């Protein structure tokens, strides 16, 4: 069985933990609402006013003028995330982090030591609450897809178990919007076919779905049948390192997308450096509101973990390799593959000093951000390229 554990309103919850006076108040973590900031996270009190991630901070303030705005402290969130991961690893070494606040765990090999998967999920949830005073939602299911849906079903503070022989009974009543990648446009298209629930979708022939959605039709058919054969892959076994984010509301603003891509690139680059890895191929993943998903890749001359080099490749693909007229974006992801952990790179014939400066800049940036948070320092070149200010980062 697979566990999906998702921390509830993680960034905002950590801020409330460190500042008890915020309890019960709307809290928004993100950029300056007086500049061109973007919401990174909001607690449930703020969400009741329609605030969501990727929303411009100025809009969030109009929706919820009484909210407390806090700049992100990624170092603090990473510190708490490491402690949460430590709790996970008491029960299984098979932990696949998706971000700072969520992970998949394969606990099939842990049953003899710790009890049934549901018991393990309960223990982890309790230990996070008792030791860190934070709340996690847990899904327990036969595969990743079902576990992810289960963890999200009764948020906040949810706990849902999907037994293998009752997976279809669990899925069928759910609205099709619960399926990965089904946004408003795909939902409307399915409704034209008379499909509102997963059960109704499951009863459609796969050929009908392929005719309407192309290659994504098979993906929909598999999800409706609860099929997902992906395994839990720990970081040290990964063939690529990536981060992605799904927006609560589809994003059409290119500057917002650039700001998020810069954030994702920074996270991937830091993970590469932390594990002593370099990557040769930069990948961009975009899922549009109409359910269409495209990927773009660019192979570099030499493997790198330099933030600036990865950012230049990623932003070039975002700005020049997407369709000229495309729907708003539902999901944005950035990753690096072709990983090399040897530490050996070919010395460049030119601009040795420039490369040395980039390496030194990354090292200093990592050290400052590890101690004071991501917002403590930014890259002027990157900020100019994305046409924004520090608040965009």
Residue 226 token pair: 């609860």
Average pLDDT over residues 292-316: 92
Residue 387 token pair: 């046409």
Least confident among 27-36, 128-137, 275-284: 27-36
For residue 368, the model assigns a pLDDT of 44
Distance between start and end Cα atoms, the chain:
38
- Check whether 390 has a pLDDT greater than 50: no
Q: 155 near 172, Cβ under 8 Å?
A: no
Task: Decide which of 370 and 164 is more confident.
Answer: 164
102, 263, 390, 391: the catalytic one is: 102
Going 104 to 108 to 114 to 118, the CA torsion angle's sign is positive
The model's pTM is 0.73
Mean pLDDT, rounded, of the chain = 84
For residue 241, the model assigns a pLDDT of 87
For residue 362, the model assigns a pLDDT of 56
Strand blocks (E) in 116-176: 136-141, 159-161
Domains of the chain: 2-7+75-168 (3.30.70.270), 10-73 (3.40.1170.60), 172-224 (1.10.150.20), 238-392 (3.30.1490.100)
- Check whether 74 has a pLDDT greater than 60: yes
Active site residue 316: no
Residue 32 token pair: 């300056």
CA angle, corner 179, sides to 174 and 183, nearest 5? 110
For residue 226, the model assigns a pLDDT of 93
- Check whether 276 has a pLDDT greater than 50: yes
For 81-98, how does the pLDDT look when each residue is reduced to its tens digit (9 = 90+)?
Answer: 989 999 999 999 999 988
- Cα atoms found within 13 Å of the Cα of residue 344, Cβ hemisphere only: 1
The whole-angstrom separation of Cα 53 and Cα 146 is: 24
Report the share of the chain in percent with pLDDT over 90: 52
Report the share of the chain in percent with pLDDT over 70: 86
For residue 355, the model assigns a pLDDT of 52
For residue 393, the model assigns a pLDDT of 25
Q: 129 near 135, Cβ under 8 Å?
A: yes
Residue 238 token pair: 């990964």
For 317-366, how does the pLDDT look when each residue is reduced to its tens digit (9 = 90+)?
Answer: 999 999 888 888 988 999 999 988 765 554 454 454 555 555 555 555 55
* DSSP-assigned letters across all residues of 255-277: HHHHHHHHHHHHHHHHHHHHTT-
The whole-angstrom separation of Cα 174 and Cα 186 is: 16
Q: pLDDT band for position 2 (50/70/90)?
A: very high
Burial of 21 (0-12, 13-18, 19+ CB in 10 A): exposed
Q: 61 near 67, Cβ under 8 Å?
A: yes
Task: Decide which of 141 and 208 is more confident.
Answer: 141
For residue 356, the model assigns a pLDDT of 54
The whole-angstrom separation of Cα 166 and Cα 279 is: 42
Residue 377 token pair: 């320092």
For residue 354, the model assigns a pLDDT of 52
């Amino acid at each position: 069985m697979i566990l999906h554990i998702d921390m509830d309103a993680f960034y905002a919850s950590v801020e409330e933990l460190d500042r008890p006076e915020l309890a019960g108040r709307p809290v928004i973590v993100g950029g300056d609402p007086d500049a061109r900031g973007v919401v990174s996270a909001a607690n449930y009190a703020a969400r009741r006013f329609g605030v969501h991630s990727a929303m411009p901070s100025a809009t969030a303030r109009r929706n919820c003028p009484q909210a407390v705005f806090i700049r992100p402290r990624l170092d603090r969130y990473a510190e708490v995330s490491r402690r949460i991961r430590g709790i996970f690893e008491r029960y299984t070494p098979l932990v696949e982090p998706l971000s700072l606040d969520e992970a998949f765990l394969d606990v099939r090999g842990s049953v003899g030591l710790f009890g049934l998967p549901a018991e393990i999920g309960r223990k982890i949830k309790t230990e996070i609450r008792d030791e860190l005073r934070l709340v996690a939602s847990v899904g327990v299911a036969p595969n990743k897809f079902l576990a992810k849906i289960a963890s999200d079903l009764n948020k906040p503070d949810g706990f849902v178990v999907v037994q293998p022989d009752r997976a279809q009974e669990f899925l069928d009543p759910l609205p099709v919007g619960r399926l990965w990648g089904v946004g408003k446009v795909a939902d409307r298209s399915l409704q034209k076919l008379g499909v509102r629930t997963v059960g109704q979708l499951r009863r459609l022939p796969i050929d009908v779905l392929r005719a309407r959605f192309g290659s994504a039709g098979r993906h929909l058919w598999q999800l409706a049948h609860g099929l997902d054969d992906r395994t839990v892959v720990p970081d040290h076994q990964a063939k690529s390192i990536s981060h992605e984010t799904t927006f609560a509301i589809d994003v059409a603003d290119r500057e917002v997308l650039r700001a998020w891509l810069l954030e994702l690139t920074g996270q991937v680059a830091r993970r590469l450096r932390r594990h002593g890895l370099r990557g040769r191929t930069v990948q961009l993943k975009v899922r549009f509101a109409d359910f269409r998903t495209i990927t773009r890749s660019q192979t570099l001359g030499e493997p790198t973990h330099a933030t600036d080099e990865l950012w230049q490749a990623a932003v070039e693909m975002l700005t020049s390799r997407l369709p000229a007229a495309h729907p708003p974006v539902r999901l944005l992801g950035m990753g690096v593959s072709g990983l090399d952990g040897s530490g050996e790179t070919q010395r460049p014939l030119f601009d040795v000093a420039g490369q040395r400066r980039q390496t030194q800049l990354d090292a200093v940036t990592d050290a400052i951000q590890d101690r004071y948070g991501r917002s403590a320092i930014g890259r002027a070149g990157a900020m100019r390229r994305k046409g924004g200010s520090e608040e965009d980062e």
